[in-house]
């Protein structure tokens, strides 16, 4: 049964609901067949990186590979669109496995909530006043007070996204590392972050939280008025991205380091 699925996979097509992507998906469904996400052996996402992240969260834990075709703006996680030869492209695609970050927050009401992040966990000031954060790594205080707009912890896959825009380092996709990056630091002004082991547990504690409220975001899941945020890599979940030969995520991350 498994061999038959690999030879003739059941494909689910999802889109970002733009007219162009929806029309392309209709043509692909007519040509290659289609099924629901819960029945799929492979998912083909037609959109941008935002849709790819949403799709990966939908299939996380089910070991369903996802192949993206770009109908968005950046498309860093996507392949070029073509209606022809899709089954051959899927069969020849290179696989990249990504482990997410697990975020657990304690909010002002004493509630504990959790979410997973494929790209990064971010903390942001919620008002005009700067946030004050204490940062612990494996229960040791590494930065007693960071006054900033926020901070983030990024996976290698997410290191080329918001982390890069915040002047954080690009991490090789296979590196067992995480990027801890401040967002517009005011004090200490020259602190540019840290590169940590992927086995590290990072805790952010908000100071003067009533006066300086902070929100925490795991990809697209946001919690308001957080008091503590604990983040670590979650090896119990995994997602698989598919890329055309020669355009793997490893290659894209490496190439990004030589852009001007």
To the question of whether residue 145 is assigned a binding role by annotation, the answer is no
To the question of whether residue 161 is assigned a binding role by annotation, the answer is yes
Secondary structure element (H or E) that encloses residue 253, with its range: helix 249-256
To the question of whether residue 26 is assigned a binding role by annotation, the answer is no
Calculate the dihedral angle through the C-alpha atoms of 80, 83, 89, 94, rounding to the nearest 10 degrees: 30
To the question of whether residue 15 is assigned a binding role by annotation, the answer is no
Choose, from 8, 38, 41, 49, the residue flagged as catalytic. 49
To the question of whether residue 49 is assigned a binding role by annotation, the answer is yes
Cα 209 to Cα 165: distance, rounded to the nearest angstrom: 26
Catalytic residue flag (residue 49) = yes
**Spatial CB neighbours of 51, under 8 Å, sequence gap ≥ 6:** 14, 15, 16, 45, 68, 72
To the question of whether residue 164 is assigned a binding role by annotation, the answer is yes
To the question of whether residue 50 is assigned a binding role by annotation, the answer is yes
Secondary structure element (H or E) that encloses residue 6, with its range: helix 2-7
**Which residue matches tokens 């392309």?**
24
To the question of whether residue 79 is assigned a binding role by annotation, the answer is no
Supply the DSSP symbol for 130.
Answer: P
To the question of whether residue 120 is assigned a binding role by annotation, the answer is yes
103: closest CA among 124, 121, 118? 121
What residues act catalytically? 49
Which residue numbers belong to the known binding site?
A: 49-50, 119-120, 149, 157, 160-165
Task: List the binding residues for NAD(+).
Answer: 49-50, 119-120, 149, 157, 160-165
């Amino acid at each position: 049964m498994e061999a038959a699925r690999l030879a003739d996979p059941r494909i689910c097509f999802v889109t970002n609901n733009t007219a162009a992507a929806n029309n392309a998906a209709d043509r692909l469904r007519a040509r290659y067949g289609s099924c629901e996400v819960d029945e799929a052996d492979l998912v083909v996402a037609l959109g941008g990186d935002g849709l790819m992240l949403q799709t990966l969260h939908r299939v996380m834990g089910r070991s369903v590979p996802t192949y993206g075709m770009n109908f968005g703006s950046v498309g860093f996680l996507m392949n070029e669109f073509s209606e022809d030869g899709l089954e051959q492209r899927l069969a020849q695609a290179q696989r990249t496995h990504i482990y997410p970050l697990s975020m657990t927050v304690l909010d002002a009401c004493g509630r504990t909530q959790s979410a997973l992040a494929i790209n990064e966990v971010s903390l942001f000031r919620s008002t005009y006043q700067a946030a004050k954060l204490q940062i612990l790594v494996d229960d040791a205080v590494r930065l007693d007070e960071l006054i900033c707009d926020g901070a983030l912890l990024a996976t290698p896959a997410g290191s080329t996204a918001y982390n890069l825009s915040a002047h954080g380092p690009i991490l090789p996709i296979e590196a067992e590392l995480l990027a801890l990056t401040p967002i517009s630091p005011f004090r200490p002004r020259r602190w540019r972050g840290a590169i940590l082991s992927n086995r590290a547990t990072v805790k952010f504690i908000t100071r003067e939280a009533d006066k300086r409220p902070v929100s925490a975001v795991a990809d697209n899941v946001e919690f308001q008025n957080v008091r503590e945020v604990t983040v670590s890599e979650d090896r119990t979940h995994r997602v698989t991205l598919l890329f055309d030969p020669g355009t793997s995520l490893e290659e894209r991350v490496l190439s990004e380091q030589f852009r001007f």
